[in-house]
């Protein structure tokens, strides 16, 4: 069994191959070619342990993830994880991969699937709320999907925004990074908005001009008590696109609007239907909510393993 560290994962494939891998994961899962058992979700106070197995035709994988929000106070990552990739025919362990980097890369690719199928071709203004490892990778991948000219950013402290700008411009020196003082300043000019926070209250303001006519990609809010989007936004949506239908039982950004009847269950559509061309987006305001699934880890691990070999 080989060990694949963060650096090798980050350089294993271009963004386009990551996005294609996630499209394949969505398509194959919807067609029953991948077995994704329900993930185990254990809470210990504010901390979370996730166990995510997945079985494909040639490989199977298991991911262990710990989410400890308090790590921010001691300057450590919130998320730690490990992915084990096994041979699907013999069960032999093939690789151990850095789960944090793999998760960041595959989640960014999933977010880019939403942008690829929902955002106008000429969209050029991106906004990102939440500038941790997820927000950073989301921004990098989004700029591969559209010709982004400016990125508006928002986080809790100016030092985090300054560091984000420096790191981002090391990859895209010609894209203007604009730190914002509040969410209104970020949302109104942006055409694509990505949220990657662990907030328990909406980070998008409850004003129509903050979401109307925009493409909104929700990456955070992975628990029932977490939310990033306001109630009134859901009243304008024709569809709510999701990476997995399990999300309606996992995230407050789906549970609460459904409970309040601000959106109907039949309006919640798997994004795999977009990938397969079964449905087309309707309206100018589009929302894609990702909660993640183990198939993404399997297809990401396979991509990295085969490319590294």
What mean pLDDT do residues 84-105 have? 95
pLDDT digits (tens, 9 = 90+) for 139-157: 999 999 999 999 999 998 8
- Whether the model clears a pTM of 0.85, i.e. scores above it, the answer is yes
Strands (E), 45-162: 47-55, 59-67, 79-87, 93-98, 125-129, 150-154
For the ranges 31-35, 189-193, 218-222, the lowest mean pLDDT is seen at: 218-222
**Secondary structure E strands in 56-142:** 59-67, 79-87, 93-98, 125-129
pLDDT of residue 40: 84
CATH homologous superfamily of 120-292: NAD(P)-binding Rossmann-like Domain (3.40.50.720)
Residue 128 · residue 143 · CB < 8 Å:
no
Of 3.90.1150.10, 3.30.1780.10, 3.40.1280.10, 3.40.50.300, the CATH number of 2-102+295-308 is 3.30.1780.10
**Phi, psi (deg, nearest 5) at residue 53:** -90, 160
Strands 2-4 and 93-98: parallel
Residues 107, 108, 113, 114: is their CA dihedral positive or negative? Answer: positive
**Strand ranges (E), the chain:** 2-4, 40-44, 47-55, 59-67, 79-87, 93-98, 125-129, 150-154, 176-179, 192-195, 215-218, 240-242, 268-270, 286-289
Where does residue 80 rank: exposed (0-12), middle (13-18), buried (19+ CB within 10 A)?
middle
Query: What pLDDT does residue 128 have?
Result: 98
What does the pLDDT look like over 154-213, one tens digit per residue? Answer: 998 889 999 999 999 999 999 999 999 999 999 999 999 999 998 999 999 999 999 999
Non-local (6+) Cβ contacts of 60 within 8 A are: 53, 54, 85, 86, 88, 298
pLDDT at residue 246, as a whole number: 82
Question: Domains of the chain: which residue ranges?
Answer: 2-102+295-308, 120-292
CA pair distance 47, 35, nearest whole angstrom: 27
Tell me if 59 sits within 8 A of 35, measured CB to CB. Answer: no
Residue 110 has a pLDDT of 97
Kindly tell me if the per-residue pLDDT of 39 is higher than 80. Answer: no
Phi-psi region of 60 (alpha: psi -120 to 50; beta: other; left: phi over 0): beta
Q: How far apart are CA 80 and CA 102, in angstroms?
A: 11
Tokens of 245: 């239908």
- The DSSP annotation for 273-300 comes to HHHTTS----SS-EEEE----HHHHHHH
Q: What is the per-residue pLDDT for 41?
A: 81
**Residue 170: CB partners within 8 Å, gap ≥ 6?**
none
What residues contact 266, with CB distance under 8 A and at least 6 apart?
none
Q: Report the DSSP beta bridge partners of residue 150.
A: 125, 176
Judge whether 2-102+295-308 and 120-292 match in fold. Answer: no
Identify which of 12-21, 77-86, 273-282 has the greatest average pLDDT: 12-21
Arithmetic mean of pLDDT, 15-19: 96
Contact (Cβ atoms closer than 8 angstroms) between residue 66 and residue 81 = yes
SS3 category, 174: coil
């Amino acid at each position: 069994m080989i060990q694949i560290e963060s650096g090798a994962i980050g350089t294993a494939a271009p963004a386009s191959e990551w996005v294609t891998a996630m499209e394949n994961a969505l398509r194959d899962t919807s067609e029953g070619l991948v077995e994704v058992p329900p993930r185990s979700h254990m809470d210990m106070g504010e901390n979370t342990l996730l166990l995510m197995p997945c079985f494909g035709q040639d490989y199977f994988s298991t991911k262990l993830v710990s989410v400890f929000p308090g790590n921010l106070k001691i300057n450590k990552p919130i998320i730690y994880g490990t992915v084990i990739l096994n041979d699907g025919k013999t069960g032999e362990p093939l690789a151990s991969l850095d789960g944090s980097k793999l998760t960041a890369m595959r989640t960014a690719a999933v977010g880019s699937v939403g942008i690829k199928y929902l955002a106008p071709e000429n969209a050029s203004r991106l906004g990102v709320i939440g500038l941790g490892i997820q927000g950073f990778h989301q921004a990098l991948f989004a700029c591969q999907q559209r010709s982004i000219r400016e990125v508006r950013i928002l986080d809790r402290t100016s030092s985090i925004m300054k560091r984000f700008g420096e790191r981002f411009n090391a990859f895209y020196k010609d894209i203007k990074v604009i730190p914002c003082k509040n969410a209104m300043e970020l949302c109104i000019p942006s055409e694509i908005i990505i949220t990657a926070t662990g907030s328990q209250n909406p980070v998008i303001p409850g004003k129509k001009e903050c979401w109307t006519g925009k493409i909104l990609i929700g990456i955070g809010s992975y628990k029932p008590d977490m939310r990033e989007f306001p109630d009134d936004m859901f009243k304008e949506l024709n569809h709510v696109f999701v990476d997995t239908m399990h999300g309606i039982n996992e995230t407050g950004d789906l549970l609460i609007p459904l409970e309040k009847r601000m959106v109907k269950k039949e309006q919640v559509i798997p994004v795999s239907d977009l990938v397969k061309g079964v449905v087309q987006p309707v309206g100018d305001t589009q929302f894609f909510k990702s909660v993640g699934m183990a198939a993404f880890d399997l297809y990401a691990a396979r991509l990295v393993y085969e490319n590294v070999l």
